[in-house]
């Protein structure tokens, strides 16, 4: 299943199934409790996802969004490495397996996949949901604690999605170094907040020092041109809202935008975008203003007008997060 829309729909149907038979108010209460826990002090000494109700709530509420964010990061990576596909995948802190769905939506076919997490109920539910996706039937769901003792078998791709946030600083550094020595490619995704960006920049630096090249979002592997504290690099992925979302968040919008920060890096040669659109393009009469991160490296605003012909058409279609100019 490599059609991303079909994957998202299959995932959604499997997640809806989880809540069947659960009174809607009970699911909403579990989500509210989880949100409160996540707002509290993380890292924690023990898993936040303690039982099936916690995990079902997490999966139904968050998995569609983490899937879309990871999928967007992987697509940007795939554009920078069009000839490459992972022959194996390890998802660290994988929980219910959103990243495994995103990998199989990006690169078709089956491959050995291992999901590592310390929360047994999350792994059990991940396995249950994955039964709906033929590419994920043989995934190994393995209980494992991230820390100094973590060992990761050699693999093509490691994903770490929405996990660094839950780790102490020393464990974050050790984890990035451990995956750097085990993987050919590493994709890390965090919430699109100033803190999420700071964790991504720290990890990016460690990956570069370990010999990786940055494939996306940056057009280069040099230092990030953002002056710390003045801004943060992040992107946005559109997610259809489920009825559970509407219940917890109120309102009737059919979608919401998941903000995320990410880095994708590889040991093998990659061709990063010449530049990337780092804010929502501003469309004015006869012109489009694009905020770009360029290979120089520098942040710059460029104005594309009708006089630019086809490039102007492309600019009108450009989205926040796209490579610029678009590939032929």
Ligand X SMILES: C[S@@+](CC[C@H](N)C(=O)[O-])C[C@H]1O[C@@H](n2cnc3c(N)ncnc32)[C@H](O)[C@@H]1O
Q: How far is CA 197 from CA 71, 162, 165, 204, 212, in A?
A: 18, 12, 11, 10, 19
Which of the residues 3 through 62 are near ligand X (CB under 6 A)? 47, 49, 62
Task: Provide the residue count of the chain.
Answer: 328
What are the φ/ψ torsions at residue 6 (nearest 5 degrees)?
-65, -40
**Position among 64, 95, 192, 219 found at the interface with ligand X (CB under 6 A):** 95
* Nearer of residues 71 and 111 to ligand X, judged by Cβ: 71
Q: Does 99 bind ligand X (CB under 6 A)?
A: yes
Q: Could you tell me which residues come within 8 angstroms of residue 307 by beta carbon, excluding any fewer than 6 positions away?
A: none
* Nearer of residues 155 and 299 to ligand X, judged by Cβ: 155
The sign of the dihedral angle between the CA atoms of 318, 320, 323, 324 is positive
**Position among 72, 119, 157, 299 found at the interface with ligand X (CB under 6 A):** 119
* Nearer of residues 170 and 223 to ligand X, judged by Cβ: 170
* Nearer of residues 8 and 99 to ligand X, judged by Cβ: 99
Q: Which stretch binds ligand X (CB under 6 A): 88-96, 131-139, 179-187, 309-317?
A: 88-96
Q: How many residues bind ligand X, per CB under 6 A?
A: 21
Is 232:95 a contact under the CB 8 Å cutoff? no
* Nearer of residues 162 and 232 to ligand X, judged by Cβ: 162
Which of the residues 214 through 253 are near ligand X (CB under 6 A)? none
Which of the residues 146 through 175 are near ligand X (CB under 6 A)? 146, 161-163, 166-167
Q: How far is CA 216 from CA 54, 120, 212, in A?
A: 33, 32, 12
Tell the smallest beta-carbon distance from residue 32 to ligand X (Å). Answer: 16
* Nearer of residues 127 and 213 to ligand X, judged by Cβ: 127
Tell the smallest beta-carbon distance from residue 212 to ligand X (Å). Answer: 21
* Nearer of residues 18 and 119 to ligand X, judged by Cβ: 119
Residues 40, 46, 49: CA angle, nearest 5 degrees: 75
* Nearer of residues 143 and 316 to ligand X, judged by Cβ: 143
Structure-token pair, residue 14: 């499997």
* Nearer of residues 95 and 281 to ligand X, judged by Cβ: 95
Distance CA 169, CA 244 (A): 34
Q: Tokens 């550094």, residue?
A: 173
Distance CA 73, CA 273 (A): 13
Tell the smallest beta-carbon distance from residue 159 to ligand X (Å). Answer: 8
Q: Tokens 């170094």, residue?
A: 177
What are the φ/ψ torsions at residue 200 (nearest 5 degrees)?
-65, -45
**Position among 4, 86, 93, 217 found at the interface with ligand X (CB under 6 A):** 93
What residue is closest to ligand X based on CB? 95
Question: Crossing angle of helices 4-19/98-106, nearest 10°?
Answer: 160
Q: Report the chain's terminal Cα–Cα distance, integer Å.
A: 27
Tell the smallest beta-carbon distance from residue 196 to ligand X (Å). Answer: 12
**Position among 78, 85, 88, 118 found at the interface with ligand X (CB under 6 A):** 118
Is 277:291 a contact under the CB 8 Å cutoff? yes
What are the φ/ψ torsions at residue 261 (nearest 5 degrees)?
-120, 150
Tell the smallest beta-carbon distance from residue 75 to ligand X (Å). Answer: 16
Tell the smallest beta-carbon distance from residue 15 to ligand X (Å). Answer: 12
Residues contributing to the site for ligand X (CB under 6 A): 47, 49, 62-63, 66, 93-95, 98-99, 117-119, 122, 145-146, 161-163, 166-167
């Amino acid at each position: 299943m490599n059609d991303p829309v079909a994957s998202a729909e299959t995932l959604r149907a499997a997640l809806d199934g989880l809540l069947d038979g659960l009174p809607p108010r009970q699911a909403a209460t579990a989500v509210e409790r989880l949100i409160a826990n996540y707002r509290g002090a993380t890292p924690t000494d023990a898993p936040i996802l303690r039982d099936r109700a916690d995990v079902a709530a997490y999966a139904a509420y968050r998995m569609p969004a983490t899937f879309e964010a990871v999928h967007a990061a992987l697509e940007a990576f795939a554009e920078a490495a069009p000839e490459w596909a992972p022959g194996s995948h390890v998802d660290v802190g994988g929980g219910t397996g959103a990243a495994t769905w995103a990998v199989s939506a990006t690169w078709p076919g089956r491959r050995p996949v291992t999901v590592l997490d310390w929360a047994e109920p999350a792994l059990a539910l991940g396995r249950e949901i994955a039964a709906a996706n033929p590419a994920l039937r043989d995934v190994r769901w393995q209980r494992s604690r991230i820390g100094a003792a973590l060992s990761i078998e050699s693999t093509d791709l490691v994903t770490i999605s929405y996990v660094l946030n839950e780790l102490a600083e020393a464990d974050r550094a050790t984890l990035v170094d451990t995956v750097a020595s085990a993987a050919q490619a590493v994709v890390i995704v965090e919430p699109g907040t100033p803190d999420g960006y700071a964790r991504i920049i720290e990890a990016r630096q460690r990956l570069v020092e370990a010999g990786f090249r940055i494939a996306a979002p940056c057009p280069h592997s040099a230092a990030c041109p953002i002056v710390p504290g003045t801004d943060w690099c992040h992107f946005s992925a559109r997610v259809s809202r489920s009825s559970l979302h509407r219940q917890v968040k109120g309102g009737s919008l059919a979608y919401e935008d998941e903000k995320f920060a990410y880095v994708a890096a590889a040991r093998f040669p990659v061709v990063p975008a010449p530049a990337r659109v780092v804010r929502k393009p501003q469309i004015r009469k006869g012109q489009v203003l694009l905020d770009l991160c360029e290979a120089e490296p520098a942040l710059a605003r460029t104005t594309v007008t009708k006089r630019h012909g086809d490039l102007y058409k492309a600019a009108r279609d450009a989205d926040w997060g796209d490579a610029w100019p678009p590939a032929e």
